[in-house]
């Protein structure tokens, strides 16, 4: 049942309204894909007129970009211990690269909301925001990618700072691209079922991400020039 709010008259109340909007949008993402989250339904569920929601966030996309940042940071918080548990520090660099890829792929596969938001980021979420919101989001995104690169380099220090950062940035892009292709429309699924020759186009998200990141790490390691 939607909550009815009185007009916010203090910074604390404004913060509460913003958090209520974020919490409501987050709950919606647990029920439906990003593409189905509308500003009208968000407004109805949070108990505010659409014009009032827009007092706190300039667009639906601004809300979802903030949730993407939250989801990214939550993933990083869990990823560190997972890597510590699963990567063998005594293994050769290539094997550790494979282990890192496996951990990243498995950890992403159980976070569908994060993956869906990542898949929508460049093509959708960044298209209906002001330069100010775009810049704020990009600053947080850069910090998150650097944090991811630090985690990767902790376990595969042979990559070096530059290649670990390349790996982390590519991992985010791969996540979004593969998620989109691994969750095709109903028409595409029907086409795959009707024509066995198209079966190769049906992607398994975790397996594809893992294989891509394994190859990426191996390639970056192979290109390293000993100092």
- The separation between CA 159 and the C-alpha centre of its own chain, rounded to angstroms, equals 23
Please give the pLDDT value at position 33. 95
Q: State mean pLDDT over 37-62.
A: 95
Per the CB < 8 A criterion, the answer to whether 119 and 176 are in contact is: yes
Residue 5 has pLDDT above 80, yes or no: no
Q: State mean pLDDT over 189-201.
A: 87
Q: Tens digits of per-residue pLDDT, 22-36?
A: 999 999 999 999 999
Q: State mean pLDDT over 182-190.
A: 90
pTM of the entire predicted model: 0.90
pLDDT level of residue 7 (50, 70, 90 thresholds): low
Q: What percent of the chain has pLDDT over 70?
A: 95
pLDDT level of residue 177 (50, 70, 90 thresholds): very high
Q: Which of 208, 40, 201, 178 is nearest to 116 (CA)?
A: 178
Q: Which of 17, 66, 69 is nearest to 43 (CA)?
A: 17
pLDDT level of residue 97 (50, 70, 90 thresholds): very high
């Amino acid at each position: 049942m939607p909550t009815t709010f009185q007009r916010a008259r203090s910074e604390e109340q404004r913060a509460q309204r913003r958090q209520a909007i974020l919490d409501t949008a987050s709950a919606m993402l647990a029920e439906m894909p990003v593409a189905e989250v509308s500003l009208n339904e968000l407004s109805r569920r949070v108990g505010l007129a659409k014009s009032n929601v827009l007092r706190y966030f300039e667009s639906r996309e601004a809300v979802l970009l903030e949730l993407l940042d939250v989801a990214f940071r939550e993933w990083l918080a869990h990823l560190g211990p997972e890597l510590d548990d699963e990567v063998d520090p005594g293994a050769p660099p290539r094997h550790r690269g494979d282990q890192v890829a496996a951990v990243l792929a498995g950890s992403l596969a159980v976070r569908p909301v994060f993956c869906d938001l990542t898949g929508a980021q460049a093509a959708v979420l960044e298209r209906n925001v002001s330069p100010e919101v775009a810049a704020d989001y990009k600053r947080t995104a850069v910090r998150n990618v650097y944090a991811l690169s630090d985690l990767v380099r902790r376990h595969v220090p042979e990559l070096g700072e530059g290649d670990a950062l390349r790996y982390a940035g590519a991992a985010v892009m791969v996540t979004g691209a593969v998620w989109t292709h691994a969750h095709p429309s109903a028409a595409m699924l029907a086409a795959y079922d009707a024509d066995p020759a198209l079966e190769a186009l049906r992607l398994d998200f975790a397996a594809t991400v893992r294989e891509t990141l394994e190859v990426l790490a191996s390639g970056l390691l192979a290109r390293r020039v000993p100092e």
